[in-house]
């Protein structure tokens, strides 16, 4: 057997790939479900925190900054482990899926809050003054005038952050979430052959390459024209 044949037999064994393709497909669907849930929750919570912070209530703003900085500093895996293994000691039990979703959502929310806040601050002060001079309240000005400008400014960094955090769904394998990586590792263990890992890598490419392309299109679509 030549070196090329050994390479193909080891990493591209079609018989092994066919055997574990259904499991990888199930993991693919679960990964998509988890990624969508994380992005939706993280962005909404991040936006809500930025809006609350814009009210300029100092104790509340300081609390948000403290929590956001802590979440940004902690690795997502540490948060997953804490939620899954530590909370049961105080009577709170989470499934692996819930712990992974909550952890990644919190991390994305922390980064999204800072991005939304930066977008709000980037809107010229004249926009606030012009809107308030027409009789709009602070809340109306924020929601109907400032926020549309701020969101447009934040689309590129939010897209990049969403792509980065969804790759963290692979961390769910640590707490038994049967996503792509978990299924691939299980297949590799039972087969005694790393071909399921190759199949898992292909599944990640199928998932994230369109995501990256979509993100680039969104950045171009919503970018300010210079």
Q: Compute the distance between CA of residue 58 and CA of residue 68 in angstroms, rounded to an integer.
A: 15
Query: Counting Cβ atoms within 10 Å, is residue 90 exposed (0-12), middle (13-18) or buried (19+)?
Result: exposed
User: What per-residue confidence (pLDDT) applies to 142?
Assistant: 86
Percentage of residues in the chain having pLDDT higher than 90: 53
pLDDT of 212: 81
Q: Is the pLDDT of residue 201 over 50?
A: yes
> What is the rounded CA–CA span in Å between residue 41 and residue 5?
47
Map out the domains of the chain with their CATH numbers: 22-124+153-222 (1.10.3720.10)
Predicted pLDDT at 156? 81
Q: What is the pLDDT of residue 36?
A: 93
Mean predicted confidence (pLDDT) in 65-93: 93
- pLDDT at 223 exceeding the cut of 80: no
Q: What is the mean pLDDT of the chain?
A: 89
Residue whose C-alpha is closest to residue 175's, from 72, 98, 105: 98
The pLDDT score that the predictor gives to residue 222 is 65
Q: What is the mean pLDDT of residues 153-162?
A: 85
Taking residues 201-215, what's their average pLDDT? 86
Residue 109: burial class (beta carbons within 10 Å; 0-12, 13-18, 19+): buried
The answer to whether 60 and 208 are in contact (CB under 8 A) is no
| Nearest-angstrom CA–CA distance, 71 and 76 | 8
Phi-psi category of residue 220: left, alpha or beta, with phi > 0 → left and psi -120 to 50 → alpha: alpha
The predicted structure's pLDDT at residue 226: 42
d(CA 77, CA 74): 8
- Give the tens place of pLDDT for each residue, 9-65: 888 989 999 999 999 999 999 999 999 999 999 999 999 999 999 988 889 999 999
Residue-level length of the chain: 226
> Residues 86-136: pLDDT tens digits?
999 999 999 999 999 999 999 999 999 999 999 998 888 888 888 888 888
Q: Each residue of 35-68: b (16+ CB within 10 Å) or e?
A: bebbbebbbebbbebbbebbeeeeeebeebeeeb
For the CA atoms of 88, 89, 92, 97, the dihedral, rounded to the nearest 10 degrees, stands at: -20
Q: Which one has a higher pLDDT value, 156 or 27?
A: 27
């Amino acid at each position: 057997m030549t070196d090329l044949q050994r390479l193909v037999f080891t990493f591209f064994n079609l018989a092994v790939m066919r055997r574990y393709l259904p499991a990888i497909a199930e993991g693919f669907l679960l990964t998509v479900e988890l990624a969508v849930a994380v992005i939706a929750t993280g962005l909404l919570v991040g936006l809500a925190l930025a809006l609350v912070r814009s009210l300029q209530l100092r104790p509340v703003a300081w609390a948000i900054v403290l929590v956001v900085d802590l979440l940004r500093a902690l690795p997502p895996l540490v948060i997953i482990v804490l939620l899954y293994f530590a909370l049961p000691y105080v009577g709170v039990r989470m499934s692996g899926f819930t712990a992974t979703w909550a952890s990644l959502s919190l991390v994305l929310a922390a980064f999204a809050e800072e991005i939304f806040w930066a977008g709000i601050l980037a809107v010229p002060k004249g926009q606030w003054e012009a809107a308030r001079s027409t009789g709009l309240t602070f809340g109306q000005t924020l929601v109907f005038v400032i926020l549309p400008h701020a969101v447009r400014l934040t689309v590129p960094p939010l897209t990049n952050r969403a792509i980065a955090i969804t790759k963290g769904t692979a961390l769910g394998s640590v707490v038994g979430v049967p996503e792509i990586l978990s299924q691939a590792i299980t297949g590799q263990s039972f087969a005694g052959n790393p071909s399921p890992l190759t199949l898992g890598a292909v599944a990640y490419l199928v998932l994230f390459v369109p995501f990256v392309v979509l993100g680039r299109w969104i950045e171009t679509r919503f970018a300010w024209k210079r």
